[in-house]
Every structure is written in structure tokens, then in C-alpha cells.
Amino acid sequence: MRILLIEDNKPLQKSTRIALEEEGFAVDIANDGREGDFKARTASYDVIVLDLMLPEIDGFTLLKHWRKDGIMAPVLILTARGTTQDKVEGLNLGADDYLIKPFQLEELFARIRALIRRGHSIKDPVIRIFDMEIDTGARLVRRAGQGIHLTPREYALLEFLAFHRGKVVTRTMIWSHLYDEYDENTSNVVDVYIRYLRAKVDKGFEPSLILTRWGEGYMLRTEEMTIPEQEVNKFQKPPKKGP
């Protein structure tokens, strides 16, 4: 998932960014309110982590303008201003959560994941699809009772597909949510990671869960879908051209 971290304290910004990336998040950085405002308006973020005491434009002003202009990305306020009045003002302006500095990284991770689940209307931290379980809290995957080891990028891709299970997600959607602004890979890397994921999640199991809608994107099969296993290849491969 893609995070925008708006924080002007450089040591805290750096340590938080590294910790988030180690947890598998794609992280964009803004050093002041004006830069944060520009990025929030020009990219799609799963969560915005917002400091209040920022140069150029303060966090409360940013939040007020975002909500007024229809920017609905979940916002987690991260600040040293911990009075009840500050909390009430932030929440009334449209913040989704509030965390006081100093904080424990594990709590930050948990709050971000909760906001992401809430944004996708998922209440149970364990997503179950056929015989596969995805524990979004522990970031663990099991299929038919077997643990499946995934890299952070593979896990992020599977989780994103699971949040949209039963719906086609395009390569552009995947790219915009799993890769930060500094990533130099091309969009073709999405296809590569889909292959990696299939080799771990689908190989040796039935039914195949990761499907390709040719010319559109990818999707996770759900119990409601009625594609017979023998029809999966037809679903995934482009039609043959005539002579």
C-alpha cells in the first residue's frame, strides 16, 4: 500500500520512512505543507500520515482544504500536540486517527493497517478466500493449512488483490498503490510479480485463485464466481486470431 508521509523533522522522517518500507509499504515524502498538499492532490494514497506543525501550510489547514475539495484518503495525524482540544479539532476536520509523538512503530503500523482495512470495508483482519487465509495484521499467508513465504512486495500485491477480490484491478492501479515516486521499475514489473505470486499461491493448489482478464488486468477468484477450473486458461489467455 502507498503512504504519503508529511513530516518536516528530518531524523524522524527518515527513520519512519525506513520502518514503513521495511514493513512493505511504498512511501512518498513531503517536507512541508505545500509539498504535501501538491502530492496529496496529484497521486492516490491509501493513507496520509500528517504532522500538524509544518512549514508553509499547517496540518489543520491542509486537512480542512482536502476534505472540502473531496480528497478522502484516510489521514492519520502524527504530532506532539496531544491536548484534547487538538485531538477534537483534528477529528472534527476529518482526520481518521490521531497518534501522539513519541510513538511505538508497532502501534503506527497497526493503526495504518486498520485505516487501510476500513477504507476497503474490511472488518476482520484475516481475509479468507477459498482455502487461503491472509492475516493482514501479522502479514502471514496460509493456503490449505500450509504457510506460504512471500517477500514484502509479493505480500503487498496479494493483499491489494484481496482488498479488491472479485474485481479486476489494472496494472496502473497496482502500480500506483504498490510503488513509490522514487521507484525506477517499469509497469511491466507487475506482470513479473504476478508470476512470482502464482508460483507460490496457486501452484499445487486448486482452484487457481489469481486470474488474468486479458487486456484489462488481474483479479482474485471468489466463492461467488462460477468459472470451472478447466475454463481458467480460456479466461486468462487472449483469443486466437484468425488466419
Supply the mean pLDDT for the chain.
87
C-alpha closest to that of 113 among 104, 123, 103: 123
- Integer Cα distance of 115 and 69 in angstroms: 21
On the question of pLDDT at 230 being above 50, the answer is no
Mean pLDDT, residues 7-31 taken together: 93
Mean pLDDT, residues 210-222 taken together: 89
In the chain, what are the domains? 2-119 (3.40.50.2300), 126-236 (1.10.10.10)
On the question of pLDDT at 237 being above 60, the answer is no
- Integer Cα distance of 142 and 39 in angstroms: 36
The per-residue pLDDT for range 114-170, each reduced to its tens digit, is 999 888 888 888 999 999 999 998 889 999 999 999 998 899 899 999 999 889 999
On the question of pLDDT at 225 being above 70, the answer is no
On the question of pLDDT at 41 being above 90, the answer is yes
Grid coordinates belonging to 172: 496502473
Report the percent of the chain where pLDDT is more than 90: 60
Highest-pLDDT range among 31-40, 117-126, 158-167, 172-181: 31-40
- Integer Cα distance of 88 and 94 in angstroms: 10
Q: pLDDT tier at 216 (50, 70, 90 boundaries)?
A: confident
Mean pLDDT, residues 170-193 taken together: 78
Least confident residue range of 1-5, 38-42, 219-223, 239-243: 239-243
On the question of pLDDT at 242 being above 60, the answer is no
Q: What is the pLDDT of residue 233?
A: 46
On the question of pLDDT at 231 being above 60, the answer is no
Q: What is the pLDDT of residue 184?
A: 61
Mean pLDDT, residues 32-59 taken together: 95
Q: What pTM was computed for the model?
A: 0.80
Q: Where are the beta strands (DSSP E) in 64-223?
A: 75-79, 97-100, 126-129, 132-135, 140-143, 146-148, 210-213, 217-220
The per-residue pLDDT for range 76-85, each reduced to its tens digit, is 998 888 788 8
By the 8 A CB rule, do 201 and 193 touch? no
Q: What is the pLDDT of residue 123?
A: 81
Report the percent of the chain where pLDDT is more than 70: 89
What's the longest Cα–Cα distance across the chain?
73
